[in-house]
Structures are given as structure tokens and as C-alpha cells.
Amino acid sequence: MKTTNLQRRKLLKYAAIGIAGAVTYPSWTQAAGEFSRVNKPSADFLPDVEIDLTMNTAEVAILKGEKTRVWKITGKVIKGASGVLDNNDGTYLAPTLRFKKGQKVRLILNNNLPAQSILHWHGLHVPANMDGNPMYAIDRGETYIYEFEILNRAGTYFYHAHTHSVTARQVYSGLAGLLIVSDDQEQALSLPSGDFDVPLVIQDRSFDGQNQLAYSAHMMQRMQGFLGDQILVNGRPDFVLPVATRAYRLRLVNGSNSRIYKLAWDDGTPLTVIGVDGGLLESPEQHAYMMLAPGERLELWMDFSQREIGSELNLRSLQFDAASHGGMGMMGGGMMGGHGRGMMEGGMMGGGMMSVSTLPSGSDYPLLKIRVTKKEQGNHTLPKTLTPITPLRIKDAANTNNPKTIALSMQHMSALLNGRSYKMDDIQPDEIIPVNSLQLIEFDNGFDGSGMHGMMMDMPHPMHLHGEQFQIVKREVSSRSGDSYATVSSGFIQNGWKDTVLVMPGEKVTILKPFNDFKGLFMYHCHNLEHEDMGMMRDFLIK
């Protein structure tokens, strides 16, 4: 494995560097176009699309008045149609990339930031060395070349920084963008396209008095995860989407560090869900509300044809309880004595007595406004069936009768997977998976309390696995989650391809995940980015 002294030296070198705004810029000089390549383009890879991406510091106007210092990725198309890239100029959002299934893409990533970084293609099935594992982080002045074929089906994917212990800060500073894949099957459905296919990246941010991004990493905030004071959509506050009287395809992405949304239209219209993380469902589903955790995506169909010009509609996040027992759960007969500190902190957070945001998690607030502004004769009917999905079968798993359990836990200021914290180069026997196998995996968030001791903090954990998309087999909830769970229970979809699944306190979620084609390290982690940085992340070694 390529985790070397070099890597450790880099980690130390950058350990003290904070986010945009808090940075004293080192005196490195880096002229444009003079990045040194850490890996080479391969001669036998003939790209259909080639894009140069540069990470840099920038200033964008987000609020009225002073501009905000952010970390911005800017792209340039070297080969391919101009439609493959939209830089989202004027916002901190990274460029939107649009690829087709089967295309070979080369992405040349240049780092001009005062910190090391690396990008990960969330949801894509790519070789291990193209997946943006933190061990591939590059220094300022260096270039990493990604080359891969788009194997994924059509869907709303995204990409973001994945740098050791600073992913949360780097994503918060702006290092995240959309990656949209289309394919023939999807195109044949003639869903709303162009201006009527609207990606909506939902994030939360806090600003200081000088309009600069505020991020603090004190223990309370890390345990709960960062919660900003303001909702931004596509990098803008008070977001309004003007629409015509016709059908739209809305692609929602939760690009927040830790905030979970309970999405609903404020006039009671049910949400018509047509897709999830890994693309379209087999058929549309209607839900009164949907949960959307960090890392998850949701595609909605919304028809405005019956609405009046000038009418408005809000997408809101509704009230829900994120924890059972008001935030604290006791498991496995743990002892109170000797855990006073953990209990105090957990209790304060769960009870909301020391909420770190003016917009507490699980409260009721608007996300964005839709305003009907023009008449249009669109003839769009929602297809009854979308794209076929082959169900994975438990009996085809390599471990049908022996599911791999991943226990999620937070206690004593740490967030752990099976009691372990993230370490590079630390593969344990139960983390080795044979290539081309299907695995039955269960995420246990205090469902089965046996084997857990002490004071546990109840928190939802959006669990994400790199590599191929998976399918959800079942959700099981322990009785202790009763009332709290009822506030979220109908906001989940079992169907479709997923790469991130929200596991509520007291819940166990079982999935079937294929590990095909590529050997090497593929991560699994909590997508609450503060939890991830605290160590709630591990690697699987596929071999």
C-alpha cells in the first residue's frame, strides 16, 4: 500500500492549516500551469472527455456586502462538448460535470490551495486508485490524474474533497460539486430536460460579521456534526426557483456536513420520488415527506401545470426527533458511574440545551421557494414505469447466513465503527472482501445492545460505502426508538440503488452490496462529515 512516510509528513505539514478565511497563506509560489504530476496519464487510455480542474482560493458574493473567501474548483474542457462542464461561476459550488454512461473521462486535478487535498467521486464505480482515497492527497503545486470509464447508470452523483481529517472543513469551504450521468435508457423516457431538469444542492453555512464562513470544531460541534445558521441552495441564500406551468425534474442533493432534512412541500402536495442515489426507481413513489441525509440524493417529479402565475410553494424541512430518549440511550447494561463526563455532554446535546446552531436539527424551517412565473404548454406525463432494476438476492451473497455487522457507536468523545477508529493501512481480517462477491452487510446503530457498554450517544448516522451501489434489504427498529422513530419512519425508500443509507438510533439496516471488478481499498464511513473526520471511517480491502 502506498501509505508512506511521505504521506505522514504531508499530514503533519498541513495539520495546522484551517479553512478559507482562517488561513495565513504560506509563501509558496505557484505559477499557473506548472503543477507537477504525481501520476502519469496512461498512453493506452483514450478519453472521450478530458477536463482540467483546478482547486484555488476565491472570493464570491454570497451575502450582501463583503465577498466571502471560499475554496473554488474551476474547470476547463480540453476534450469533449462544452455541455460537459458548467463552472457555476459566482458561487463556491464546484463545476457541474455531465457525463454519459460508457464515456471514458480523464480529469486532471491541480491543487493550488494552501493545503493538501484530493477529490472523491461519490457514488461512482471506479478503480481504487481513481476513487480519491485520502492516501492519494496531493500538495499545493501537484496534479493528480484520474482516468476512468463511467460504468454507472444514469443518476445524480457528486464529488467532494476527501482529505484525511479535514474533509468537513474542505467541503464546507466549497470543495463539492455535482456529477450527473445520463444513459440511453433514461433518455428514452423523455423526462423534463434542459431548463426543466434542475439540480438543487442543499447546504447549511454560518457567516461571521464580515460575511466570512464560520466553522468551529470544538468537541460539542464535532459530536453533533456542524450545523449552520442558514440554508443555502446551489450556494445561494433565500433561494427562489422561477418555474413555468409544466412538469420539472428536481434533483436534490444533501451536500451539508451533517444536517438531515425531512423534505416536504408546504401545501401538503405529496413528494413524487422518481430517483434516489444511484438513479431512477423502477416506478415513481409518493411520500408525504422524505428524509435526506448528508450524501444522499433524491429526484423528484413536480408538475406545476395546474398552478396560477404568481403563486408560490416552499420546500420545507419538517420537525423530527433525531434521537430516542431525548438524546441519550443506555445500552447493554452500561454503568453510569465513571462515565459522568460522557453523560453530561450527551445529555446536553440531546436535550438541545446547548444547540450549536440557531437552526436546530429537526426543527421546522423553509429550504427554498418556488415561484410560478410563466405560462407554458408542456405535455409531460409522468411515466408509470421508469427504469428496470434487477433485485439482488440474499441467497446469492457470499455470506448469506453470516451477515457482516458494522456496529455504529459514539461514546467518550469518539465515533467508531465496530469499536475502531480510522487509520490508514489498518485492514482487519473482517475488512477483507473477495472481489466479485456479493456481501450481506448490516449497520447496527444500537439495535442490538449486547456487546455495547457504557453511555452511548444516540445519533443518526448516514452510512456510505464507496464503490458500487447497493440495495436495501430491510430496516429493523428496536422498541426503545418508538415515538422518535415514528417522526421519520415513512420518509425512507427501500427500492432503488443506494450508496448512502441513514441509520437512525435503535435501528439496524441490512443491505446487499456487490464488490465487483476492482481490487484495492474502498472506504465505508459515516457521511456526517464531522463524524467521518473524528474517525468514523474505515477501509475495506477488496482482493
Binding site for ligand C2O (CB under 6 A): 120, 122, 160, 162, 295, 464, 466, 523, 525, 527
Residue 97: name the closest of 116, 118, 121 by CA.
121
Residue whose CB is less far from ligand C2O, 126 or 271: 126
Q: Which is nearer to Cu ion, 139 or 277 (CB)?
A: 277
3-state secondary structure of 340: helix
Amino acid at 514: P
- Tell me the window of 135-143, 268-276, 309-317, 520-528 that interacts with Cu ion (CB under 5 A): 520-528
What is the helix (H) or strand (E) element at residue 532, kind and residue range?
A: helix 529-534
Q: How far is the CB of 359 from Cu ion (least distance, A)?
A: 19
Compare residues 295 and 350 and give the one whose CB is closer to ligand C2O: 295
- CA neighbor of 496 nearest in space, from 473, 477, 517: 473
Q: Could you say which of 10, 249, 262, 531 contacts Cu ion (CB under 5 A)?
A: 531
> Which range in 84-92, 383-391, 393-401, 457-465 contacts Cu ion by CB under 5 A?
457-465
Which partner in ligand C2O, Cu ion, none is near 101 (CB below 5 to 8 A by kind)?
none
Residue 122 found at the interface with Cu ion (CB under 5 A): yes
Is the Cβ of residue 249 or residue 464 nearer to ligand C2O in the bound state? 464
Partner from ligand C2O, Cu ion, none contacting 295, C-beta within 5 to 8 A by type: ligand C2O
Q: How far is the CB of 218 from Cu ion (least distance, A)?
A: 17
**Alpha carbon 202 to its chain's center:** 11
CB of 346 to ligand C2O, least distance (A): 26
Dist. CA 424–CA 136, nearest whole Å: 11
3-state secondary structure of 174: coil
- The one-letter amino acid code at 329 reads G
Q: Which does 162 bind (CB under 5 to 8 A by kind): ligand C2O, Cu ion, none?
A: ligand C2O
125: contact with Cu ion by CB under 5 A: no
What are the C-alpha distances in Å from 443 to residues 196, 262, 407, 414, 421? Answer: 37, 21, 6, 18, 16
Task: Please select the residue that binds Cu ion; options are 461, 475, 480, 508, rule is CB under 5 A.
Answer: 461
Shortest Å, Cβ 126 to ligand C2O: 12
3-state secondary structure of 11: helix
| 526 contacts Cu ion (rule: CB under 5 A) | yes
C-beta closer to ligand C2O: residue 152 or 212: 152
Q: Of these partners, Cu ion, ligand C2O, none, which one is at the site of residue 259 (CB under 5 to 8 Å by kind)?
A: none
- In the complex with ligand C2O, the residue whose CB is nearer, 404 or 525, is 525
Cell numbers for 182, please give them: 445520463
Whole-number Cα distances in Å, 237 to 176, 241, 297, 366, 449: 17, 12, 20, 11, 42
| Smallest separation (angstroms) from ligand C2O to the CB of 50 | 24
Task: Kindly state the smallest distance separating residue 532's Cβ from ligand C2O, in Å.
Answer: 7
Q: Which of 209, 278, 219, 302 is nearest to 21 (CA)?
A: 209
Closest CA to 86 of 47, 51, 123, 48: 51
Minimum CB separation of residue 341 from ligand C2O in Å reads 30
Phi-psi region of 418 (alpha: psi -120 to 50; beta: other; left: phi over 0): left
The H or E element that residue 530 is part of is helix 529-534
Distance in angstroms (rounded) separating the CA atoms of residues 536 and 3: 19
Compute the least distance from the CB of residue 167 to ligand C2O, in Å: 8
Q: Residues 453, 411: contact at Cβ < 8 Å? A: no
What's the min distance (Å) between Cβ of 75 and Cu ion? 20
Q: How far is the CB of 51 from ligand C2O (least distance, A)?
A: 20
Judged by beta carbon distances under 5 to 8 A according to partner kind, the member of ligand C2O, Cu ion, none in contact with residue 523 is ligand C2O
Minimal distance, residue 83 CB to ligand C2O, in Å: 25
Nearer to Cu ion, 19 or 526 (CB): 526
**CB closer to Cu ion out of 100 and 122:** 122
HEC letters along 225-266: CCCCCEEEECCEECCEEEEECCEEEEEEEECCCCCCEEEEEC
Site string for Cu ion, 462-481 (x = CB under 5 A): ----x---------------
Ranked by CB distance to ligand C2O, the top (closest) residue is 122
14/10 Cα distance (integer angstroms): 6
Question: Would you state the cell numbers that stand for residue 290, as one nine-digit string?
Answer: 422524505
Parallel, antiparallel, or unpaired: how do β-strands 365-374 and 432-433 relate? unpaired
Closer to Cu ion by CB, 466 or 538: give it.
Answer: 466
**Residue closer to ligand C2O, measured from CB, 20 or 293:** 293
The least distance separating ligand C2O from the CB of residue 523, rounded to whole angstroms, comes to 5
Q: Is 287 or 464 the residue whose CB approaches ligand C2O more closely?
A: 464
Residue 526 interacts, among Cu ion, ligand C2O, none and using kind-specific CB cut-offs from 5 to 8 Å, with Cu ion
Nearest CA to 107 out of 123, 121, 117 is that of: 121
Nearer to ligand C2O, 108 or 523 (CB): 523
Distance CA 370, CA 242 (A): 6
Return the residue matching grid coordinates 509560489: 29
Buried b (16+ CB within 10 A) or exposed e, 491-501: bbbeebbbbbb
Binding site for Cu ion (CB under 5 A): 122, 461, 466, 526, 528, 531
